[in-house]
Chains A and B, each alone.
Chain A
Amino acid sequence: MALKIVKGSIDRMFDKNLQDLVRGIRNHKEDEAKYISTCIDEIKQELKQDNIAVKANAVCKLTYLQMLGYDISWAAFNIVEVMSSSKFTYKRIGYLAASQCFHEGTDVIMLTTNQIRKDLSSPNQYDTGVALTGLSCFVTPDLARDLANDIMTLMSHTKPYIRKKAVLIMYKVFLKYPESLRPAFPRLKEKLEDPDPGVQSAAVNVICELARRNPKNYLSLAPLFFKLMTSSTNNWVLIKIIKLFGALTPLEPRLGKKLIEPLTNLIHRLVITLHRASVEKNVCLIGLVLPIVCVCVCVSNAVLISLSSGMPNHSASIQTVPHCLYVSLVTVKYLGLLAMSKILKTHPKSVQSHKDLILQCLDDKDESIRLRALDLLYGMVSKKNLMEIVKKLMLHVDKAEGTTYRDELLTKIIDICSQSNYQYITNFEWYISILVELTRLEGTRHGHLIASQMLDVAIRVKAIRGFAVAQMAMLLDSGHLLTGNMQRNGICEVLYAAAWICGEFSEHLDDPMQTLEAMLRPKVASLPGHIQAVYVQNAAKLFATVLQKHEGATDSQAAQDTSQLLIERLPLFVQSANLEVQERASCILQLVKYIQKLQQKDVEVAEEVSALFAGELNPVAPKAQKKVPVPEGLDLDAWINEPPSESESEDEKPKAVFAKEEPKQSRARHIEVDEKELARRREARKQEQANNPFYIKSSPSSQKVYQDAPGVEHIPVVQIDLSVPLKVPGMPMSEQYLKLEEERRQKERADKKKKDKKKKKREKRGKGKRDDSGPESEEDITPAHQVDIVTEEMPENALPSDDDDKDPNDPHKALDIDLDKYVPSAENTLHKVTVCMLHAEKQGDLSITRHFLVFLVPLLVQKSLKNKKKKQKKEKDEKKKKKRHHHHHHHGDGGGGDSVQNGTVEEEEEEEPLPVSRFLPITEQKNTVYDIQGNLQDGSQVVVSVIFENKSNSFLKSMEFNVLDSLNSKLQRPEGASPHDGLVVPFQLPPGVSNEARFVFSVQSIVMPQKLKGTLTFIVKSEDSSTHEKLDFKLHFTCTSYLITTPCYSDAYAKLLESGDLKSSSLKLEGLNMPFHHLLARICFHHHFSVVERIDSCASMYSRSIQGHHVCLLVKTVSS
Chain B
Amino acid sequence: MRFMLLFSRQGKLRLQKWYTATAERDKKKMVRELMQVVLARKPKMCSFLEWRDLKIVYKRYASLYFCCAVEEQDNELITLEVIHRFVELLDKYFGSVCELDIIFNFEKAYFILDEFLMGGEIQDTSKKSVLKAIEQADLLQEVRVCDSLNWCPCAVHFSMPTTNKCERVSSVICVCLSSACLSQEDESPRSVLEEMGLA
Interface size range on A against B: 35 or more
B46 vs chain A, min Cβ distance (A): 4
Q: Does B73 contact A (CB under 8 A)?
A: yes
Q: Cβ of B107 < 8 Å from any Cβ of A?
A: yes
Looking at chain A's contact residues, the main secondary structure is helix
Are B77 and A290 in contact (CB-based, < 8 A)? yes
Structural contact, A366 and B151, CB atoms closer than 8 A: no
Mark A77-110 against chain B: 1 for CB-CB distance below 8 A, else 0. 0000000000011001100100111111100000
Please name all residues of chain B whose beta carbon is closer than 8 Å to the beta carbon of A237 when the two chains form the complex.
Answer: 125
Alpha-carbon separation in the docked complex, A371 to B51 (Å): 12
- Name the contact of B46 in the complex, choosing from A19, A89, A105, A369 (C-beta under 8 A): A369
Q: How far is the CB of A371 from chain B (nearest CB, A)?
A: 6
Query: Is there a chain A Cβ closer than 8 Å to B161's Cβ?
Result: yes
Partner of B150, one of A17, A104, A138: A17
Residue among A124, A137, A169, A330 making CB contact with B18, cutoff 8 Å: A137
Nearest-CB residue, chain B, relative to A333: B46
Indicate whether A1115 reaches chain B with its CB closer than 8 angstroms: no
Are B150 and A9 interface neighbours, CB within 8 A?
yes
Instruction: Pick the residue among B23, B42, B77 that contacts A335 (CB under 8 A).
Output: B77
A209 near B121: Cβ-Cβ < 8 Å: yes
Instruction: Say yes or no: B141 contacts A92, CB within 8 Å.
Output: yes
**Is the CB of B195 closer than 8 A to any CB of chain A?**
no
> A6-B146, A103-B22, A201-B125 are known contacts. Are A171 and B119 too (CB-CB below 8 A)?
yes
Query: Quick check: is B91 within 8 A (CB to CB) of the other chain?
Result: no
Within 8 A of A (CB), among B132-188: 133, 136-137, 140-141, 143-144, 146-151, 161-162, 185
Q: Is the CB of B118 within 8 A of A17?
A: no
The interface residues of chain A lying within 8 Å CB-to-CB of B121 are 168, 171, 202, 205-206, 209
> Contact check: which of B46, B107, B110, B137 meets A366 at CB < 8 Å?
B46
A640 interface residue (CB < 8 Å to B): no
Contact, CB under 8 Å: A198 / B124: yes
- CB pair A89–B104 under 8 Å, yes or no, is no
Whether A198 contacts B78 in the complex (CB less than 8 A), given A69-B13, A126-B137, A366-B45, comes out as no
Given contacts A19-B104, A67-B13, A201 and B122 within 8 Å (CB-CB): yes
- Is the pair B46, A67 in contact by a Cβ cutoff of 8 Å? no
Output the least CB separation between B161 and chain A (Å).
7
- A133 contacts B114, C-beta separation under 8 Å: yes
Q: Which residue of A lies closest to B106 (CB)?
A: A64
Does A164 belong to the interface (CB within 8 Å)?
yes
CA distance A20 to B147 in the complex (A): 12
Shortest CB distance B70–A (Å): 12
Whether A978 sits at the interface, judged by CB under 8 Å, is no
**Complex Cα–Cα for A20 and B151 (A):** 8
**Min CB gap A879→B, angstroms:** 46
B80: which A residues are within 8 A, CB to CB? 287, 331
Q: Does A868 contact B (CB under 8 A)?
A: no
Q: Which residues of chain A have C-beta atoms less than 8 A from B23's C-beta?
A: 103, 105
On chain B, the residues within 8 Å of A239 by CB distance are 75, 78
What 1/0 flags go to B1-19 for Cβ under 8 Å of A?
0000000000001111111
Shortest Cβ distance from A1068 into chain B, in angstroms?
39
Given A67-B16, A96-B111, are A2 and B161 also a contact pair (CB < 8 Å)? yes
A198 touches B49 (CB 8 A): no
CA distance A12 to B143 in the complex (A): 12
A88, A243, A365, A368: the one contacting B50 at CB < 8 Å is A368
| Complex contacts, B119 vs chain A, CB 8 Å | 136-137, 168-169, 171-172
Q: Which residues of B contact A164 (CB under 8 A)?
A: 123-124
Least Cβ–Cβ distance between A861 and chain B, in angstroms: 21
15 new A-B contacts at CB < 8 Å, known A17-B150, A22-B104, A335-B76? A9-B146, A12-B150, A22-B103, A26-B185, A67-B15, A88-B140, A105-B23, A133-B114, A161-B133, A198-B129, A287-B80, A291-B78, A331-B47, A366-B44, A369-B46
Jot down 15 A-B pairs with beta carbons below 8 A, ordered by A. Answer: A22-B103, A67-B16, A88-B141, A92-B141, A96-B111, A100-B110, A103-B22, A103-B24, A136-B19, A138-B21, A161-B133, A234-B125, A287-B77, A330-B44, A331-B48
A-contacting residues of B (Cβ < 8 Å)?
13-19, 21-24, 28, 31, 41-42, 44-50, 73, 75-78, 80-81, 103-104, 106-107, 110-111, 114-115, 118-119, 121-126, 129, 133, 136-137, 140-141, 143-144, 146-151, 161-162, 185
Please name the 8 residue pairs, one residue from A and one from B, whose CB atoms are nearest each other, closest first.
Answer: A330-B46, A103-B21, A136-B119, A366-B45, A334-B46, A291-B77, A88-B140, A133-B114
List the interface of chain A (C-beta within 8 A of B). Answer: 2, 5-6, 8-9, 12-13, 17-20, 22, 26, 60, 63-64, 67-69, 71, 73, 88-89, 92-93, 96, 99-105, 124, 126, 129-130, 132-133, 136-138, 140, 161, 164-165, 168-169, 171-172, 197-198, 201-202, 205-206, 209, 212, 234, 236-237, 239, 243, 287-288, 290-291, 295, 330-331, 333-335, 338, 365-369, 371
